Amino acid sequence: MVTRCCIAPSILAADFGAMANAVSQAEEAGAGAIHVDVMDGHFVPDISFGRQMVERLRLATALPLDVHLMVGNPARHIDPVVQAGASAVTVHYEAARGPDELAQLLTAIRVSGARSGVALKPATDSSVLAPVWGQVDQVLVMTVEPGYSGQAFMPEMLVKIRRVATQAASHSVTVAADGGIDERTIGRCAQAGATFFVAGSSIYSPRRTVAEGMTALQAALDVR
């Protein structure tokens, strides 16, 4: 069976003054989803978007909105972002107080009507997923430290992607890669087993158009 790959442009890297245009350009260029990073300034140093941005983006596109909660208290954000239009919500393993709370968060996401996801920081071993495979729809392997756009890809994370993909195969769970994804790294992540790719500065770049960035990524996937 051939699994269709999905490229999800990260709106965090777009021009904040032209978000609707950034989304429509990505949609026209073949994006499969729009990735939305929600940061609270506690779990990660920076502050980005919240419920209102998700709501605005929902009005701008019919594409799935893939919301990544980089927050210290994910439980309070789940219902608001889903009600605003999130199609999938990913919480960090590191933000949960143990596997029981993580399972509760994932269940809450599914009950709200969205797909559930778990993100792992680079230092977090994939073995922590063992108790929650039955509650998760997507695992997001961070290939940079979360919180900043434009960081360099960490090639040592390919081993983790491969390990997660092996574990996920028997659970029908999507494996995603996020951080430093460009035409040099996307094929390597796909070969390791990822099928969902979050790309920011390689798509929203002053050096080329959104369409050119998407075309480069899609071509790199086709020749892997």
Q: State the pTM of this model.
A: 0.93
Instruction: Give the span between the Cα atoms of 181 and 198, in whole angstroms.
Output: 7
Q: What is the rounded distance in angstroms from the CA atom of residue 7 to the CA atom of residue 195?
A: 8
Residue 16, pLDDT score: 87
| pLDDT, average across residues 161-173 | 94
Mean pLDDT rounded to a whole number for the chain? 92
Mean pLDDT of 120-135: 95
pLDDT interval class at 39 (50, 70, 90): confident
Q: How far apart are CA 206 and CA 14, in angstroms?
A: 10
Nearest to 97 by CA among 73, 127, 129, 126: 73
d(CA 94, CA 77): 16
Contact 178, 68 (CB under 8 A): yes
222 pLDDT band (50/70/90 cuts)? confident
The tens digit of pLDDT for each residue in 173-195 reads 999 999 999 999 999 999 999 99
pLDDT of residue 1: 34
| Section 15-19 average pLDDT | 89
Catalytic center residues: 37, 178
Share of the chain above pLDDT 70, in %: 94
Strand-pair partners of 140: 119, 176
- Helix, strand, coil percentages (3-state) for the chain, rounded to 5, are 45, 20, 35
- The model's pLDDT over 78-88, given as tens digits with 9 standing for 90+, comes to 999 999 999 99
- Among 19, 80, 76, 14, CA closest to 43: 76
Q: Which of 71, 70, 89 is nearest to 79 (CA)?
A: 89
Give me the pLDDT at residue 189, please: 97
Rounded Cα distance between 161 and 97, Å, is 24
Alpha helix stretches (DSSP H) within the chain: 19-28, 51-60, 75-84, 99-112, 157-168, 186-192, 210-222
The full set of domains in the chain, from first to last, is 6-222 (3.20.20.70)
pLDDT confidence of residue 166: 95
Task: Look up residue 102 and give its two tokens.
Answer: 């993580």
